[in-house]
Structure 1
Amino acid sequence: MPYFTTSEGIQLYYSDQGAGQPIVLSHGWPLSSDAWQVELKAFADAGYRAIAYDRRGHGRSSSTYTGNDMDHYAADLAELIEHLDLEDVVVIGHSTGGGEVVRYAARHGAGRVAKVITVGGVPPIMVKSDANPEGTPLEVFDGIRNGVLTDRSQFFLDLAESFYGFNRDGAARSEGAVRDFWRQGMLVNLAAAYDCVKAFSETDQTEDLKSLDVPILIAHGDDDQIVPLADAAQKSIGLVKHGTLKVYPGAPHGIFSAYQQQLDRDILDFIAS
């Protein structure tokens, strides 16, 4: 299994498949690069070099106590891309990963990044404040932190239901998807899982979005119960210069089933355009 060690001594696990223009995939919280297994194969099969990695504190990467914030996430990604000497890169991020790739592209990606794609991305900022009155109240994120600290095993099982929209009437529930969400979540270092909540909810990425000078596809389900469409994608599209907004009717936060199939086709179309 390939690992890269950053200048801070953080070991990052990554999977590297295929050959061609590189696509680098950043996962959501509390998952790992395993969440991108379908995309790794699909994109490699389509003639691209597909790379997915475990964020610090997640999956098989170092179980970090410090640096669990968006600045360090983006810096780690920058070092990995430089280590692999990738150019003309497409960076794709889901949920927290959406914030990570946007910050990376804005602060580190000049001359390397060709396109940015977010899926259920957290930018510009999730938490409610006087400046963001439509946001999610801080108490919701406090509840997530409490769930992680109190009984993270049960919390991740419960969270998977709304993450994939299985709690909706008529939804085709997958026990396997729930168990795999739990499996990946249980690999997260507790300190990293706790601190990442602040990173994905309170990091203001308004200026990151404004500074992007490459095309960005902003994909989002309109039944996303984790990162509401109106406070994320619909605000982000108004801040970027070269943006395309794609809304998926009835789609949840988690990338799964028919939504995943259509999304992957749209991603490949956007990259090739």
Structure 2
Amino acid sequence: MHTTINNLRIAYTDEGSGPAVVLIHGFPLSRAMWQPQVAALSAAGFRVVAPDLRGFGDSEAPREGYSMDQFADDIVALMNHLGIGRAVVGGMSMGGYILLNLLKRHPRKVAGAAFLLTRCNADDAAGKTRRAELAAKVRAGERALVEKAFADILFAPRTLKEQPQIVDTVRSWIQKTSIAGLAGSLEAMAQRPDYCARLGEFDHPALVMGADDDQIVPPETIGPFATALPNSTSCVIPGAGHMANLEQPQSVNACLLKFVRLCSQRFDLRDNNGRDV
């Protein structure tokens, strides 16, 4: 499916019926990453919406206009277009940064916040420099550097050895991402604010999920992240890396579904009139 949001063609998946769940993919991926979760959540009685962010997947890729604010505004506009007043929102990696932005700027759209394989801190000076340099090289035509930098560290060593088909599939998603989306998102991530000291302000029900072999978000960061949120729970997925939702989908689905059910019991997620509740 696709629609025009903020003057841009945005592609999205919309499956199932019932309380709404919105899933935001990570960098440098697409909504295709959520296939196991869309299937499980929709079968369990939830409406699941998973967009391709601007510049990714089948969505339009403008030359400019990439920021955490803009990504979050696109999510809100899509929710309003689909008549979703509020939803449980899950964000993986970069999607988690967008979710933090939503909690700050559009808190009433979020009934529950699922932080999957992500972090609350901003890049340090060295990290900002690395992202800026990589963005510049991508714009100069060296887009393959993104695949080289990210492809292998997205997975647990066990996955690289035992599930090469998943690795190949994720590589194909990275290769499909536009140059504008890659470079613009790298710059947007470099400019994101630090939210760690502000987590106490977010009293939404929250889930913080990690993986024991994640090379990008070390599992030891999950406990402090969850502790800093006033109303949170956490889980660490065994035998998985940064792509835990594909590497160990049953474990991820069980943890996520338990959280979504809890949120749906506490909030009316069937507000389908499109109001910004």
Same fold (TM over 0.5): yes
- Residue ranges of structure 2 left out of the alignment (5+ in a row): 263-277
- Alpha-carbon shift at residue 143 of structure 1 (Å): 6.3
Change (3 A) 1:258 1:192: closer
2:143 corresponds to 1:152: yes
Change (3 A) 1:124 1:244: farther
Contact 1:118 1:217 in 2 (8 A): yes
Change (3 A) 1:103 1:31: same
* Superposition pairs of residues 175-194 of structure 1, within 5 angstroms: 175-194=164-183
Task: Tell me the distance in 2 between the aligned counterparts of 1:16 and 1:155.
Answer: 29
Change (3 A) 1:45 1:157: farther
- Alpha-carbon shift at residue 195 of structure 1 (Å): 2.3
* Superposition pairs of residues 131-142 of structure 1, within 5 angstroms: 137-138=127-128, 140-141=130-131
Name the structure with the higher helix share.
2
Change (3 A) 1:146 1:247: farther
The aligned counterpart of 2:272 is none
Letter in 1 for 2:150: L
The aligned counterpart of 1:114 is 111
Task: Tell me the distance in 1 between the aligned counterparts of 2:100 and 2:45.
Answer: 24
Change (3 A) 1:32 1:201: same
- Alpha-carbon shift at residue 255 of structure 1 (Å): 2.4
Q: SS at 2:111's partner residue? A: strand
Identity %: 26
Contact 1:106 1:208 in 2 (8 A): no
- Taking structure 1 as the reference length, the TM-score comes to 0.84
Change (3 A) 1:124 1:158: closer
The aligned counterpart of 1:132 is none
- Alpha-carbon shift at residue 59 of structure 1 (Å): 0.6
2:234 corresponds to 1:245: yes
Change (3 A) 1:213 1:200: same
Q: SS at 1:5's partner residue? A: strand
The aligned counterpart of 1:13 is 11
What is the number of equivalent residue pairs in this alignment? 260
Q: Which has the higher contact order (CA 8 A, sep 6+)?
A: 2
Change (3 A) 1:222 1:80: same
Task: Tell me the distance in 2 between the aligned counterparts of 1:195 and 1:76.
Answer: 15
- Residue ranges of structure 1 left out of the alignment (5+ in a row): 130-135
Q: SS at 2:55's partner residue? A: coil
Change (3 A) 1:238 1:204: farther
- Give CA-to-partner distance per residue, 1:75-94, whole Å, 9 cap, x none: 10011111112134110111
Task: Tell me the distance in 2 between the aligned counterparts of 1:4 and 1:239.
Answer: 37
Letter in 2 for 1:117: A
